[in-house]
């Protein structure tokens, strides 16, 4: 993560978000479908209260299809409108207009009662870094509308991108801080490559991934690397080093290199579609 979330930055991001929220009817919140709760900002429900809400389970292409269904149902049960999308490929974006219309039904009816016609819904996109906000705005708006590499809390132009006659999008997304206090969430975000983990080194992080795979996706490692996964995670890293020929000088396996390779393979989907957390499995995360 290239943004450093020291308290000053968080205060600025929160303030910018509060200002922007005054301008919009709808909050489009992006989360990473591989860890939808861990990748939510801890204060987003507070910041978005009294607004229509749409949650996009983004990177749905990298997440387990069953997991996507379970999370969709889970968020719907909390009263959110939810869609599974792949912002990179543009998959799932066609459904957004009708999801926006149903999320904003109350506002549209209120407008109609007051005789206001054809006032477009105004929406903003928000989420923690790396969930795909810029990619989403770019592909949804169909042109290079969002600047990538944006910083939190920077004064912005607040321009509206008119998507169609019934929807306008704020051009810059709300960049919010991730969950810092929840260690499990921190680990999952580090596995996704969304935050830099200062507590675990690459091998330790990869060992955590290996453990999670052994438990929930026992075929992932055998299918990719062609060996039966041993019980010991560090032995698994050695095996990856062996089959991928990661050697240090002197004929010793380079498990650090193998660990980095494994994490890369996971992040790019080469280990298959994997969801790191499922609804209801961890008390306190919801
Ligand atoms: P942000 O604004 O929320 O910080 O995220 P951003 O759009 O910069 O996206 C972060 C990374 O996630 C990018 O990859 C982007 O391509 C990727 N991404 C976004 N949406 C999806 C999706 O639905 N599916 C998949 N598979 N990837 C997605 P990157 O490696 O940082 O850049 P690049 O390789 O695209 O150049």
Ligand 1 mean position, distance from CA 162 (Å)? 23
Q: CA nearest 34: which of 253, 239, 187? A: 187
Q: Is the CB of 130 under 6 A from ligand 1?
A: yes
Evaluate if residue 149 carries a pLDDT over 50: no
Q: What is the mean pLDDT of residues 239-247?
A: 97
Inter-axis angle of helices 202-216 and 233-243, nearest 10 = 100
Q: What is the mean pLDDT of the segment spanning 250-271?
A: 96
Report whether pLDDT(3) > 70: no
pLDDT band at 284 (very low <50, low <70, confident <90, very high): very low
* Rounded distance from Cα 114 to ligand 1 centre (Å): 41
From the list 33, 31, 21, the residue with the least C-alpha distance to 54 is 31
Residues in the chain, overall count: 286
Among the listed ranges 162-166, 196-200, 275-279, which one has the minimum average pLDDT value? 196-200
Q: How many CB atoms lie within 10 A of CB 6?
A: 9
* Residue 281: pLDDT band with limits 50, 70, 90: confident
Residue 148 Cβ contacting ligand 1 at under 6 Å: yes
The answer for residues whose C-beta is within 8 angstroms of residue 283's C-beta and 6 or more apart is none
| pLDDT at position 55 | 98
The minimum-distance atom of ligand 1 relative to the CA of 62 is 26
Nearest CA to ligand 1 atom 26: 59
Q: How many angstroms is it from 134 CA to the middle of ligand 1?
A: 8
Query: 127 forms bridges with which residues in the sheet?
Result: 175
Taking the centre of ligand 1 as the mean of its atom positions, its distance from the CA of residue 132, in whole angstroms, is 5
Q: Enumerate residues 6+ apart whose C-beta is below 8 A from 261.
A: 240, 244, 246
What is the tally of helices (H) and strands (E) in the chain? 11, 7
CA distance 157 to 174: 13
Residue 103 in contact with residue 26, Cβ under 8 Å?
Answer: yes
Q: What is the pLDDT of residues 222-238, one digit of tens each?
A: 999 999 999 999 999 99
Distances, alpha carbon 40 to alpha carbons 180, 276, 285, in Å? 11, 14, 10
pLDDT of residue 136 exceeding 80, the answer is yes
């Amino acid at each position: 993560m290239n943004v450093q979330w020291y308290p000053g930055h968080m205060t600025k991001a929160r303030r910018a978000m509060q200002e922007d929220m005054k301008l919009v009817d709808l909050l489009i919140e992006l989360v990473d479908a591989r860890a939808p709760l861990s990748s939510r900002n801890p204060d987003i429900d507070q910041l978005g209260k009294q607004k229509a809400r749409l949650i996009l389970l983004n990177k749905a292409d990298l997440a387990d299809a069953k997991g996507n269904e379970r999370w969709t149902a889970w968020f719907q049960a909390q009263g959110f409108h939810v869609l599974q999308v792949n912002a990179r490929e543009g998959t799932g974006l066609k459904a957004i207009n009708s999801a926006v219309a149903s999320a904003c039904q109350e506002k549209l009816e209120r407008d109609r009662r007051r005789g206001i016609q054809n006032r477009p819904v105004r929406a903003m996109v928000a989420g923690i870094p790396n969930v795909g906000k810029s990619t989403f705005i770019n592909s949804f708006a169909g042109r290079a509308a969002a600047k990538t590499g944006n910083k939190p809390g920077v004064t912005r132009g607040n321009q509206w991108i008119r998507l169609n006659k019934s929807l306008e999008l704020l051009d810059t997304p709300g960049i919010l801080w991730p969950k810092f206090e929840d260690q499990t969430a921190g680990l999952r975000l580090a596995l996704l490559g969304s935050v830099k983990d200062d507590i675990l080194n690459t091998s330790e992080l990869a060992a955590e991934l290996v453990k999670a795979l052994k438990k929930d996706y026992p075929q992932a490692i055998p299918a990719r690397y062609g060996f039966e996964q041993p019980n010991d995670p560090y032995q698994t890293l050695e095996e990856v080093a062996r089959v991928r020929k990661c050697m240090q000088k002197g004929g010793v396996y380079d498990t650090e290199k193998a660990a980095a390779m494994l994490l890369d393979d996971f992040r790019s989907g080469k280990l298959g579609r994997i969801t790191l957390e499922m609804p209801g499995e961890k008390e306190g995360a919801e």
